[in-house]
Structure 1
Amino acid sequence: MISRRTILKSGGAAAAFAMVGTPSILRAADTVKVGLSIPITGLQAILGETLLNCYKLAAAELNAANGIGGRQVELFIEDNQTTTKGSIDKARKLLNEDK
């Protein structure tokens, strides 16, 4: 069995850091997609509105600072209507349609 200590001793960590730090890997996509399934309507709409404003503010700040690894942040917002069925449907839409 290979342990973390064995990998660190063999220099595997340096190779892993070199691969992760490569700019071509960081810029594999044009944007960073963030999918949000939040309650904009329904019983918890007040919480969803706060969440939505926080995510929009964070995305705006990240994009103003040249994004994440040079890629802009793109938000995909779905209203789950504070229901279990709505949450499942919106999560499936975010995964299957919005990728």
Structure 2
Amino acid sequence: MKSGGAAAAFAIVGAPGILRAADTVKIGLSIPITGLQAILGETLLNCYKLAAAELNAANGIGGRQVELFVEDNQTTTKGSIDKARKLLNEDKVDVIMGTIISP
């Protein structure tokens, strides 16, 4: 099974409610675009963009396209908390990923 197929299979079994909730899967990324870990955040962002493009080219996850919401946590605890709140409360993402270090 290809890696995209494994992710889709997990999503179908692990989160059936999310799959029926909307037309897209909203993935929030809280990553350090600025600050001490910016070089790692830039690399991580490129990896997420590539993964989303590959999933979307293969009909998304459960037929839903992946949409990325990117926020710069500035490699700080406050930035991580503020951006997580924005992603959840304003952007209404389904999941948050991307942190490199623990706040």
Question: Could you tell me the TM-score, scaled by structure 2's length?
Answer: 0.71
Root-mean-square deviation (CA, aligned residues, Å) is 7.4
Query: Which segments of structure 1 move beyond 4 Å, counting only runs of 4 or more?
Result: 8-25
**Superposed CA offset, 1:6-48 (max 9, x none):** xx99999999999969999844310000000000000000000
Distance between the aligned counterparts of 1:14 and 1:59, measured in 2? 11
User: Does residue 26 of structure 2 align to residue 27 of structure 1?
Assistant: no
| Unaligned ranges ≥5, structure 1 | 1-7
Residues 36/14 of structure 1: CA separation in 2 closer, same or farther (3 Å cut): closer
Residues 35/18 of structure 1: CA separation in 2 closer, same or farther (3 Å cut): closer
The percent of aligned pairs where both chains have the same amino acid is 93
Q: Which of residues 70, 75, 82 in structure 2 aligns to 1:82?
A: 75
| Unaligned ranges ≥5, structure 2 | 93-103
Q: Which protein is bigger by CA-based radius of gyration?
A: 1
Partner of 1:3: none
Distance between the aligned counterparts of 1:17 and 1:95, measured in 2? 22
Distance between the aligned counterparts of 2:32 and 2:84, measured in 1? 12
Question: Could you tell me the TM-score, scaled by structure 1's length?
Answer: 0.74
